[in-house]
Structure 1
Amino acid sequence: MRRNDQQGDTFEPRFGDDGLLTAVVVDMADNEVLMVAHMDREALQATRDTGFAHFHSRSRGRLWMKGESSGNRLTVRQIRVDCDQDALLLLCEPAGPTCHTGARSCFYRQVAGDVLTSLDD
């Protein structure tokens, strides 16, 4: 029985027209979503080669390793792919805060009407 693309066993990531796919980073210890970023082929390969999360920075227009300046690296323990292979889930062990603001997660605020409130409040 032949499987369709969405059930196959070959890793063939589907990058968008911009050459990127979405990567959701989750703390493997507690499943908290830490950040969302984008990967191009170079970032995905660097991540697979080194075991540390690499992304494509749209603002800088280049490859960057998470924690390259702060030291707060993300050790990738597992890469999961969604059914149509256009998004990745990175199960990671963070070495410190993930957000550039110093927060553990980039998702540290909630929307309340038109106001943002901290989850720590």
Structure 2
Amino acid sequence: MPVPDVETALDPAIAARLKRTPDGLVAAIVQEHGTGDVLMLGWMDDEALHRTLTTGRATYWSRSRGEYWVKGETSGHHQHVRGVSLDCDGDALLVTVVQTGAACHNGTHTCFTDDLLTEGQ
């Protein structure tokens, strides 16, 4: 589902640096503050990023449901934002959070639980 055409209060200087997908999204890699664990990948549009930056609560765009969601709003597994960084190309965000409970929707600490072997391992 495409993101809605909403007016956002995201700082124009930040918005100008973002390189979005054709759907208007930027990948948000979520890392746990303190441990450095990579927890999940979410998607943000300008409004989700604005909400994240101004509320301190990780807010994403759900591509499957076609709506904004605040991590932990229904599960209680909150993400309290400690920092947000933009990568050098402007096409990915690193969101550093204090994670309460599981980060993954399947109940695990991280979504990255399936190790794939490469040749030579």
Report the TM-score range of the alignment, normalised by the length of the smaller protein. Answer: 0.7 to 0.9
Shift of 1:57: 0.2
Query: Could you tell me which amino acid in structure 2 is paired with residue 72 of structure 1?
Result: H
Instruction: Identify the residue that residue 59 of structure 1 maps to in structure 2.
Output: 64
TM value normalised by structure 1 = 0.80
For the pair shown, which has the larger CA radius of gyration, 1 or 2? 1
Instruction: Identify the residue that residue 91 of structure 1 maps to in structure 2.
Output: 96
3-state SS of 2:115 partner:
strand
Shift of 1:80: 0.7
1:76 aligns with 2:81: yes
Unaligned runs of 5+ in 2: 1-12
**In the TM superposition, what whole-angstrom CA distance separates every residue of 1:89-121 from its partner, at most 9, and x where no partner exists?**
0011001110111100011121258xxxxxxxx
Query: Within 5 A, what are the aligned runs for 1:44-55?
Result: 44-55=49-60
Aligned residue pairs total 104
3-state SS of 1:23 partner:
strand
Shift of 1:63: 0.5
Greater strand percent: which structure? 1
User: In structure 1, how many angstroms separate the alpha carbons of the residues matched to 2:19 and 2:94?
Assistant: 14
Query: Could you tell me which amino acid in structure 1 is paired with residue 41 of structure 2?
Result: V
Instruction: Identify the residue that residue 34 of structure 1 maps to in structure 2.
Output: 39
Shift of 1:40: 0.7
Identity value in percent: 41
Unaligned runs of 5+ in 1: 1-9, 114-121
User: In structure 2, how many angstroms separate the alpha carbons of the residues matched to 1:66 and 1:54?
Assistant: 6
Match for residue 107 of structure 2 among 88, 95, 102: 102
TM value normalised by structure 2 = 0.80
1:16 aligns with 2:21: yes
